[in-house]
């Protein structure tokens, strides 16, 4: 079985994978809701960090718990907890980011049976010189909470091993992303998304082995289709593989992305420091931020433009989860930036399910304009 098929299997049977890991390793499984959660510390404790994702199904169980004007991802994720699909989780962790996903965590803690729940205080003003010392102390408190809960001391060597494993994972995925710069990439956007989402569900050491296999499979690989329009996908949480597949079936190819289920999740490594907790904290402070934490310097914007240029992007899909204010506020600025650089954009608003009929018409028209501009 090829690496892609393995990624697909894990994604399709994510709950079974976690339960099998738990039975095999005798460790705890901890769910996390935001990419600002320091998975490395959980992993160093001998636990499996698993991202809590939605189902992209219509649901009617969250209205009594969370506002209907919160983003569909937050409501969908909470629905999975209320329905018992994550009943195997031993713990749940969240690092403060937006108010929507924080309320998913709060309601999960209150209404879904769970042994351990931890809300971490992630600085909002990450540009402040006080943010790294603050977060290092916060990570120390988190480490102590995990130790008290599990009865296992997390040593410095445990942390270093976790850092090495996670850095290896990031480095290998970036190596695969580099192949997408080619005129005819050996990997589709949907396949790249499967790879990254699987990394958020699997034991990183096991995922690293699959990445090594995948790299070997990709060299010399021909995906059997023209690349056509080279697209970039930008926005809030995005794990809708079906949508990416449908767009690519129209003839386009997603060659790069900037969202928290893609580059924003894995792009930045942890740099060595004497104190592993300080090194981990520095990574989460210095990483490419999500919109709520990208003030006042706006580091994310030049990073996005640099990616667009490096990957020879010809068109950009800007999407937002419905009611996601931070990303919606960014859209006018992003549109202006791309207009000034002669890169067309299309804005789409996502709900739990996709109105593909409406989307298809708009995307086809967008791709036609790109084709016209390229002639």
Cα Rg for the chain, rounded, in angstroms?
20
Render 131-158 in DSSP notation, one character per residue.
HHHHHHHHHHHHHHHHHHHHS----HHH
pLDDT at 56 over 60: yes
Render 112-135 in DSSP notation, one character per residue.
S--SEEEEE---S-TTSTTHHHHH
Closest CA to 257 of 177, 341, 367, 362: 177
Q: Which of 4-13, 25-34, 96-105 has the lowest mean pLDDT?
A: 96-105
pLDDT value of residue 225 = 81
pLDDT value of residue 375 = 46
Calpha distance 193→350 (Å, rounded): 17
Tens of pLDDT, residue by residue over 163-175, are 999 999 999 999 9
Q: How confident is the model over 257-282, as a mean pLDDT?
A: 97
Q: How confident is the model over 224-235, as a mean pLDDT?
A: 90
Q: How confident is the model over 290-298, as a mean pLDDT?
A: 87
pLDDT at 219 over 70: yes
pLDDT class for 6, splitting at 50, 70, 90? very high
pLDDT at 331 over 70: yes
Q: Where are the domains of the chain?
A: 14-152
pLDDT at 372 over 80: no
pLDDT class for 373, splitting at 50, 70, 90? low
Q: How confident is the model over 91-120, as a mean pLDDT?
A: 95
Buried b vs exposed e over 147-164: b needs ≥16 C-beta within 10 Å? eebbebebeeebbebbbe
Q: How confident is the model over 220-243, as a mean pLDDT?
A: 90
pLDDT at 337 over 90: yes
pLDDT class for 297, splitting at 50, 70, 90? confident
pLDDT at 228 over 90: no
Q: How confident is the model over 13-41, as a mean pLDDT?
A: 97
pLDDT at 288 over 90: yes
Between 224 and 234, the more confident residue is 234
The dihedral region occupied by 312, where left means phi > 0, alpha psi between -120 and 50, and beta the remainder, is left
pLDDT class for 157, splitting at 50, 70, 90? very high
Q: How confident is the model over 83-96, as a mean pLDDT?
A: 97
Sign of CA dihedral 308, 172, 240, 48: negative
pLDDT value of residue 374 = 55
**Helices 241-249 and 356-374: angle between axes, nearest 10 degrees:** 50
Domain 14-152, CATH class in plain words: alpha beta
pLDDT class for 95, splitting at 50, 70, 90? very high
Cis peptide upstream of residue 79 (ω within 30 degrees of 0): no
For residue 234, give the DSSP letter: E
pLDDT class for 53, splitting at 50, 70, 90? very high
Q: How confident is the model over 239-260, as a mean pLDDT?
A: 95
Closest CA to 124 of 258, 277, 289, 330: 289
How far apart, in Å, are the Cα atoms of 300 and each of 264, 276, 333?
10, 26, 11
Q: How confident is the model over 288-292, as a mean pLDDT?
A: 91
């Amino acid at each position: 079985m090829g690496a892609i098929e393995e990624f697909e299997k894990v994604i399709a049977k994510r709950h079974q994978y976690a339960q099998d890991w738990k039975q095999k390793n005798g460790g705890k499984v901890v769910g996390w809701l935001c990419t600002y959660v320091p998975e490395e510390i959980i992993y160093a404790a001998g636990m499996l960090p698993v991202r809590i994702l939605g189902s992209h199904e219509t649901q009617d169980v969250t209205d009594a718990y969370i506002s209907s004007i919160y983003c569909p991802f937050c409501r969908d994720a909470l629905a999975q907890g209320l329905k018992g699909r994550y009943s195997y989780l031993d713990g749940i962790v969240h690092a403060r980011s937006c108010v929507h996903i924080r309320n998913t965590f709060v309601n999960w803690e209150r209404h879904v049976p769970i042994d351990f729940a931890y809300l971490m205080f992630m600085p909002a003003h990450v540009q402040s010189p006080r943010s790294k010392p603050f977060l290092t102390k916060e990570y120390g408190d988190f480490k102590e909470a995990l130790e008290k809960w599990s009865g296992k001391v997390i040593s410095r060597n445990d942390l270093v091993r976790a850092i090495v494993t996670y850095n290896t994972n990031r480095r290998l995925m970036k190596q695969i992303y580099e192949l997408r710069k080619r005129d005819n990439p050996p990997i589709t956007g949907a396949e790249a998304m499967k790879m990254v989402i699987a990394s958020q569900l699997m034991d990183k050491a096991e995922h690293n082995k699959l990445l090594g296999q995948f790299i070997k499979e990709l060299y010399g690989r021909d995906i059997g289709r023209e690349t056509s329009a080279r697209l970039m996908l930008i926005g809030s949480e995005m794990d809708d593989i079906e949508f990416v597949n449908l767009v690519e079936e129209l003839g386009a190819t997603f060659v790069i992305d900037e969202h928290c289920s893609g580059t924003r999740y894995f792009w930045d490594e942890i740099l060595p420091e004497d104190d592993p907790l300080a090194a981990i904290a520095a990574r989460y402070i210095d990483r490419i931020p999500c919109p709520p934490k990208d003030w006042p310097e706006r580091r994310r914007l030049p990073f996005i433009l640099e990616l667009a240029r490096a990957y020879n992007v010809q068109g950009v899909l800007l999407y937002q989860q419905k009611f996601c204010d931070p990303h919606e506020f960014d859209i006018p600025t992003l549109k202006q930036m791309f207009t000034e650089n002669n890169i067309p954009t299309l804005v789409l608003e996502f709900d739990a399910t996709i109105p593909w009929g409406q989307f298809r018409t708009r995307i086809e028209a967008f791709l036609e304009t790109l084709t016209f501009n390229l002639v």
